[in-house]
Structure 1
Amino acid sequence: MIYLDYQATTPLAPEARDEMLRWLDGPGGSGFGNPHSPHRMGRQAKAAIEVARERVAALFPAGGRVIFTSGATEAINLAIRGSGAGGTVSVSAIEHAAVLDTARAVGNCHELNVAKNGQCNTKQDLPADTRLVCVMQVNNEIGTIQPTVEWHRKAKSANALYLCDAVQAYGRMEVTGADMVAISAHKFHGPKGVGALWLREGLDIAEVQTGGGQEYGIRSGTLSPALIAGMGVAAKEAKERMEQDADHVDKLWTRARELFADWELNGSAEARWHGNMNIRPAGKNAGGLDVNRLMSECRDVMFSAGSACASGSGRTSHVLEAIGLSQKKAKASIRLGWGRYTTLDEIETAAAKINAAAKEQGI
């Protein structure tokens, strides 16, 4: 099988897996202790978590705190719900559902428009009562890189906080300034089921999930040393390999653009993470592609028809609609994603299969 769905999840780094096994040690071993227990095994587990915390923090701006969570969705909920009540939450129209649905659930949600290239326009006004601005760093569906520095400044000038969903950016590029940043380990070769919320220095938010208050009194629940240790090693590897990984991704992007030259690119080609290629057929048959049939005929190539979180829902991508695509063109779009462990041969083989299957449909 050829895996080209890196936006949905990434392969677990072998280094992260090896570290996780140390903290899954069962009877007869000493790695399964509760990190909140005062005895030796508990202290060892806690020490592993604190090493991981430092490794995760090393990819954020200096200062601040890393709050471990079960993933980015929990981190986003903690940020939006814990940072205040009342007022307006302004979010870009192409945010992940974890941001959009939570902002709508807490009350007054104001959507910020995006241009056809997929970038959120910084010249639009914020409502006077805006308390929180949410603009992601890299879009999960079309890969566009957002002007997050400008949005952070704009939020600050409006006396609002700024939350950045950096799930697709963390470990791949520098995470730019924000008040709060949400990440998920399995998007940078760590394990599923663990993520973090970074809070800038001096910022306090309210507890949302009550209990033992294990994470600075902000997030309750017993932490998993295995998951967190794996996340920490994945962060360490990402930091050390960032330039190497980016160069590799750029080479794959260049070749893929050649192989899919007859397809239209959705979103900006320049302001984009090159590990994401969201494309649709060009020309008179642009809206005629049956993506479900294409995926069935290319079943040994793992790619997406949009966000993995909405797959099977039958809904048109809100991201593709927001950049002005018709329903037909949006439903004829596919997303290919690659990264550290993808080979050039895999890109070429996958492109041949996808192009041949599309040709069978008259595309």
Structure 2
Amino acid sequence: MEEYQHIYLGVPLDNDDRVVIKRAWLQSAIDAHLKVGGSWTGGKTVGYDVADSGDDKNATTTMDGSVCIGLDEWKGGEDELRESAMRVKHTAERAQASHIGYDSIGVGAGTGSHLNAAGWHRHFKFNAGGKVSDPKKKYGDTRIANEDFFSNLKAQTWWLTADRFRNTHLAVTKGALFPADQMISLSSNIDAKLLDKLVDELSTPMRDFDNSGKVKSRTTCTPYGSGDFVMPKAKQPNLHSAPALRRVATDGLVNVVSGLGTQKAKRSHNFFSYTQFQDWQQLDNAYATNWLARAIVDIPAEDMCREWRIIKSKDANAIRIEEDRLMLPMCVQEATTWGNLYGGGGILMLTGQDLSKPLNMNRI
């Protein structure tokens, strides 16, 4: 039904796996600070996106800690940069914000001077195409340094923003526990039209990779930020300023190990097929000869079975001994591995059926 509405009625998909930030995550983030406990509010910051040209508009986003509390957009040409800077200053003053962050590329290069002239000196600039932040730090729970995972700061900020929205979605829908500074909330007090537009634009950027296998964003959207301040900015349609995120932290959006999850990896191979495999022989060959294909298949199964089971029973020790005798953990991991390789499968653990007779499907 969702696919029909998307194709024939133009309704956006809530869970399009191709996008960096899923629409369902954004919907869960609306008033998340009222649904999930934690210290959501904190230092207030205003993010300012300067209009480029043509139909582009100026926009600001105001954050109170991890809560987006305000959006604004207006038409202002290159000959009105000073007036626009004054408007941003007034926005920051009304919100009692501590800082203003702005995009320093192109028309925005002189924004700092205009803010100084307006009497606001607590500001910083950001170059979306610049080098990644904390280049030597490992991304999330992976073993990959940020500089090897992301192509630039644009990709990094979109990915980390997605992590926070994902955490919020899990907290709201599954009861998962995360610190508030690892989540994002979008206040419903924001103008409804601007909030809807923000959701549309944040759920637009697509996942992509450059020729070296590093993550990039396949979009006209540009994330920008500085230090612990991050702001994704979308150039189309018009709402250009998205949440200014403080103290960006992540638990990892993609389960990758040294290139896993990318289309290419520097140290892996000379050839990688982008087409779907059509038969088992091709799958076997890929698994046997390509470390990346092998890692994609093996690692999820290993992760699933590493802790095995917590048995809360007086017979726990006897159960573990019997499981070890039957090599049950190894068998489950192996079955999961082959299920991953050949397209999925199921494991049935049944009691009360005679194994010498055909499986009674009615008792499953």
Q: Shorter-normalised TM-score: what interval?
A: under 0.3
Higher relative contact order (CA 8 A, sep 6+): 1
TM-score by length of 2: 0.24
TM-score by length of 1: 0.24
Larger radius of gyration: 2
